Structure 1
């Protein structure tokens, strides 16, 4: 009796699967180390002493969440409200441009105001005169949220797109990022609303270890399947 034919094709397929699954597992481990290093850097920035705002050319992803200190004069009439969901509920971020002492214009997220707040009320709550702000540097959020696009013509904003906001308010060139205010030093304002600062949400999904274990388990199962079909033949 002739011996059974070895399932060469199936064995080759399983061997390729072992290599692919193992490679994906290693990649997820590398991603996990990168993510942990990123979280450590951001945590250090958030709790560091504030520094001066870097030049516009340096405002990129490498500096996001850098704690900065800026000062200047608010342009309250240009205030915009951007939809927000926070631990305090749904409402708006109060975005107001700040004319910096060095001549640049930088959007400041002065904080959260509840749903129902009008732009006029938020504008009236803007301090006059010279102000100082300490906060976290953020990157612009172009076009809108995942679910809804910004509607500049209707003054409806779902993301903090600093360029589009500046165009809608006729501000000209602005810095390519914005600052989430944590502290604001200014003359007191008698207003019906007061933005609540310091609500920056910092969250980095970190599921790489579970993904890596899944891929390695798939690789192990493929090895088992390879051995099984080869020995059975």
Structure 2
């Protein structure tokens, strides 16, 4: 003879469903958001790798003569060959280089054979070489045009009196040296006076951050942890309901 009410296991099942509904929804929605962020980072990784490959191809191209007109966007990383006269004025950008330690990027004016005045980033010098007399005279250089984006809200103002800078601000440095806002980062020197104290620091894509893979792994890992914790919570709720039932 059947009772008037629903079977006990049906009541138990309904109670379990009511208690796990909210954790289940939170778990699914949260995991979906985290997985979506991981997928977005994978897409960003492909985008960044394509950009780096394009930059690498441009960096390794044959150098050309310095164009008469330049655009900081279109001509960034363009390989160029320049020749002219180094002037003794110099700016020093405080940096730290991997395997080399702290030092200064040496920025000097170069008067081109045609009369134009530009800047050249000759490379890294030791901290104690800042006061040394800089090489001057005719030089031949190969490098890449660059307009670095190194300034943020935490970058100190340059110490103009001592010629110490904390980022390569091309327009401001050009104003200080009286040159065009054009910077050639030297890759190699083909002629003229050289110094053993200068280590070339050419433009390199290794210096461009590409952390999207790590970010993707982090988001996917968080999604896995979120789902695991959700599953554990649901299991606890189910076990408790069975015990109480």
Alignment coverage as a number of residue pairs: 221
Aligned to 1:71: 83
- Of 158, 167, 170, 2:166 maps to 158
Instruction: State the Cα distance separating 1:101 from its structure 2 match.
Output: 4.4
Instruction: State the Cα distance separating 1:33 from its structure 2 match.
Output: 0.9
Instruction: State the Cα distance separating 1:95 from its structure 2 match.
Output: 0.8
Instruction: State the Cα distance separating 1:138 from its structure 2 match.
Output: 1.9
How is 1:1-233 mapped onto 2 (pairs within 5 angstroms)?
A: 2=11, 3-4=14-15, 5-54=18-67, 56-60=69-73, 63-74=75-86, 76-86=87-97, 87-101=99-113, 103-119=115-131, 121-122=133-134, 125-126=135-136, 128-129=137-138, 131-140=139-148, 148-169=156-177, 171=178, 174-175=180-181, 177-188=182-193, 194=196, 196-200=198-202, 202=204, 203=206, 204-226=208-230, 232=238
**Residues 143 and 206 of structure 1: is their aligned pair in 2 closer, same or farther, counting only changes over 3 Å?**
closer
**Residues 40 and 136 of structure 1: is their aligned pair in 2 closer, same or farther, counting only changes over 3 Å?**
same
**Residues 146 and 69 of structure 1: is their aligned pair in 2 closer, same or farther, counting only changes over 3 Å?**
farther
Quick one: distance in 2 between partners of 1:55 and 1:16?
57
Kindly indicate whether the alpha-carbon contact (under 8 Å) linking 1:80 and 1:95 is maintained by their aligned counterparts in 2.
yes
Quick one: distance in 1 between partners of 2:223 and 2:191?
60
Quick one: distance in 1 between partners of 2:22 and 2:113?
71
Quick one: distance in 2 between partners of 1:167 and 1:142?
17
- Tell me the TM-score normalised to structure 1 length: 0.76
Quick one: distance in 1 between partners of 2:168 and 2:156?
13
Quick one: distance in 1 between partners of 2:30 and 2:67?
48
SS at match of 1:160: coil
Kindly indicate whether the alpha-carbon contact (under 8 Å) linking 2:35 and 2:219 is maintained by their aligned counterparts in 1.
yes
Quick one: distance in 2 between partners of 1:144 and 1:217?
31
- Which stretch of structure 1 is more off in the superposition, 146-155 or 10-19? 146-155
Instruction: State the Cα distance separating 1:212 from its structure 2 match.
Output: 1.6
CA RMSD of aligned residues (A): 3.2
- Which stretch of structure 1 is more off in the superposition, 99-108 or 21-30? 99-108
Instruction: State the Cα distance separating 1:205 from its structure 2 match.
Output: 3.6
